[in-house]
Amino acid sequence: MTTTTPSGGARAAGATADYLDQRTGIAAAVKGLSRKIFPDHWSFMLGEIALYSFVVLLISGVFLTAFFVPSMAETEYDGPWAAMNGVPMSEAFASTLRLSFEVRGGLLMRQVHHWAALLFMAAIVTHMMRVFFTGAFRKPRELNWLIGFTLMILGLVAGFTGYSLPDDVLSGNGLRITDGIVMAVPVIGTYLSYWIFGGEFPGQDLIPRLFTIHVLLVPALILALIGAHLFLVFLQKHTQYPGGGRTDKNVVGYPLFPIYAAKAGGFFFIVFGVIALMAATMSINPVWNYGPYDPSPVSSGAQPDWYMLFLDGAVRLMPGQTEFVIAGFTLSLNVLVPAMVVPGVLFGVLALYPFIEAFATGDKRVHNVLDRPRNVPFRTATGVSVLSAFIVLILSGANDIIADHFSLSINDITWTLRVLLFVVPAIAFWVTKRICLGLQRKDRELVLHGHETGRIVRFAHGEYIEVHKPLSDEERWLRVNYDAHAPLQIAPAHDSRGVRRKGYRRDLLRQRVSRTFFEDRVEPVTPAELAAAHAHGAHDALESAEPHGGHEAVGAATEAPLVGGAVSGGGRRLADHDDDLGSDTRNY
C-alpha cells in the first residue's frame, strides 16, 4: 500500500480553506453552490455572453481611464496625426487622439471597449428575446425580468455616455439631438438643458459629467443589478426546456462544479478572444476622420450605435408640421412623440408584459419548464411584430445612407418607411400567429397519426393504406403537455337579487384581455381523442410486413398477414403497435 504526501501548495490551500471555514462557515455555502444544477442548452449562453462582455468592458475601461482627459478646455493638437496639427480642440478629443496614436496598445483597447459594448447590448437584447418567447418571465421570475429590463436601459445609458466622451463631430451631433429632445419638454425644457449642459449648448460641463456617469454611476448600478440577477438565478430553480423527465419540480443538467464551471470559464476566454480578434481586424469609431466637435457642421451619414438607431429612426420618420403654441409655450410633437412617447410606451409595455399576461391568464402557478413559442401564438406574434417595427425604425435611421448607396429619393424612402412602420408589424403579427397555429395543428396530427414512413400496404380486399410510425413517449409528451389557456369566464354583472356585482368592471376588462390573448388556440390531444384515433375495427388486426422500414410495392401481389396492430387516422393510416399510454388523465 502506497501513500502520497500532499505538496506544499496543496497543504497551503487546505490550510487557507480551513482557516476561512472556521471563521465564516463558508464550506456549507460552497458545497451547496457547487452542487447547484444547471440545464445544458446553447441559448443559456446568451446571458453569459452579456456577462463576459461586461467584464471585458471593465478591464478595457480601466486602461482607457488612465489616459483619457475628461475636460472641454480648449487646446491645440500637436502630435503624429499631421492632419490635426494646430487644430483647436477640447482636451477630451486631444487625449482620444493620443490614446489612438501614441499610447502603446491604446487604439486596440479603444476598439476592444467599443466592440465589447456593442456585443454587450446585442447579448442583452437577444437574451431578453429568448426569455420573452419561451415565457421564462412567468412566476416566480417577474422580478428578474424587471432587473434584466433595467440592465438593458442602463446599457443604453452607458453606451450613449461612452460614445459621447471623445467630443468629436459624430458624438456632438448626437448630443445636439439630445439637447433638442430635452428642450422640447413643455415648460421646463430650457431649464433642463441649461442644467444638463451647464449653460448654453454645448457648455463646458457636459464631458466631465458624462465621464462621471459613464465610469462610476452606471457601472456601479450594473454591477449591483448583475449581482441581484445572479442571486435570484441561484435562489430559484433554473428554467429548462420541455423534454423527458423535466418538470416544474426538478432541473435536469450538470452541477456547477466542476462541469459547468469549466465550461463557463472556457467560454469566457472564447468571448474575450472573439472581441479581441474583432478589435484587431475591424476598425470602429475612427474619430480622427470626423474631427473635433463644432456646432456649425452636420455631417451626412451620421448614425449612432445600432442599439440607439431606432430612436434616431423614429425622429426621422415623424412629420415636422406638428408644432403647437399653447399659452406661449411651444409643444413640439414632432420631437416629443418619437423621442419620448413612443419609447416610453414601448419600454413600458415591455417591462409590464409579465404582469399583463398573468392578468389575462389568471395563472398563479410556479413555472420552471419553458414554453414552446408555437404553443403561445399571441405572445410569439406580439414579439415578432415588435421586432419588425424595430427593424423598420433601424432602416429609417439609415435612410440617408440607403438613399446615397442606391441612388434613391430620401423623401420616397421616408414615406415608404412611414407606411411600413404600420403595415409590417400588423402583417408580421398575423403571419406569425397563423404559423404558430399551423404548427400546433401539425403537432396534433403527429400525436394522433404518427410519423409518415412512405410505406404502403394492401388489405385482402384491395384497400391501400400508409403505415405510420407512432411517436415515442417523449415525443408525444412534448406535444401535448402544455396549457392551452381559454378565455376567462366571469360571473354575471348582477347577482340573483339584481344587485350589481362588485368588481364586475375589472373582471370584464380581464375577460376582454384574455379573449385577445387566447381566443385563437389549438387544444392539445386528450387521451380520449388518442384512443379514438387508434381504434378502427378490422384495420386494428393488421401488422405491417416490414416493421422497421422499407417500402411495400403499391401493386404487390402478396397480402399482409392479419395479426395484431394499431391503426390511426380514420382508417386511412396504419400505425405500429405502441406501448401503454399510462394512467395520466391528460399529459403523457
Q: pLDDT for 277-324, tens place per residue?
A: 999 999 999 999 888 988 777 767 778 888 989 998 999 998 877 777
> What stretches of 268-423 adopt beta strand conformation (E)?
323-326, 329-332
Nearest-angstrom CA–CA distance, 206 and 165: 9
User: Which one is predicted more confidently, 377 or 17?
Assistant: 377
Whether pLDDT at 464 is above 70: yes
CB atoms within 10 A of CB 356: 12
Whether residue 441 is predicted with pLDDT greater than 90 in this model: the reply is: yes
Structure-block grid coordinates of residue 171: 458624438
Peptide bond into 140 cis (omega under 30): yes
Q: Which residues contact 501 (CB under 8 A, 6 or more apart)?
A: 491, 492, 493, 494, 495
Residues 6+ apart with CB under 8 A from 26: 20
Does position 548 have pLDDT exceeding 90, yes or no?
no
Asked if 310 and 339 touch (Cβ cutoff 8 Å), the reply is no
pLDDT at residue 523 is higher than 60 = yes
Average pLDDT over residues 392-400: 92
**Cβ distance 169 to 297 under 8 Å?**
yes
Query: Amino acid identity of 57?
Result: L
Tell whether the model's pLDDT for residue 474 goes beyond 90.
no
**Do 219 and 158 meet the contact criterion of CB atoms below 8 Å apart?**
yes
Give just the sign of the alpha carbon dihedral 399, 405, 406, 408: positive
For the segment 198-209, the average pLDDT, to the nearest whole number, is 85
Please give the average per-residue pLDDT across 379-386, as a whole number: 95
Q: What is the three-class DSSP state of 35?
A: coil
The pLDDT of residue 263: 87
Q: Which of the 8 DSSP states describes residue 338?
A: I
For the segment 33-91, what is each residue's pLDDT rounded down to a tens digit? 777 888 888 899 999 999 999 999 999 999 999 999 999 999 999 889 888 898 999 99
Q: Given 3-state DSSP classes, what are the helix, strand and coil percentages for the chain, each rounded to the nearest 5?
A: 60, 5, 35
pLDDT tops 90 at residue 472: no
Mean pLDDT of the chain: 84
Are 528 and 546 within 8 A, CB to CB? no
Beta pairing class for 323-326 and 329-332: antiparallel
pLDDT of 3: 63
107-145 tens-digit pLDDT: 999 999 999 999 999 999 999 999 999 999 999 999 999
Q: Model pTM?
A: 0.84
CA 430/CA 443 separation, integer angstroms: 20
Location of C-alpha cell 456585443? 119
* The pairing of beta strand 464-469 with beta strand 573-575: parallel
Q: How confident is the model at residue 4 (pLDDT cuts 50, 70, 90)?
A: low
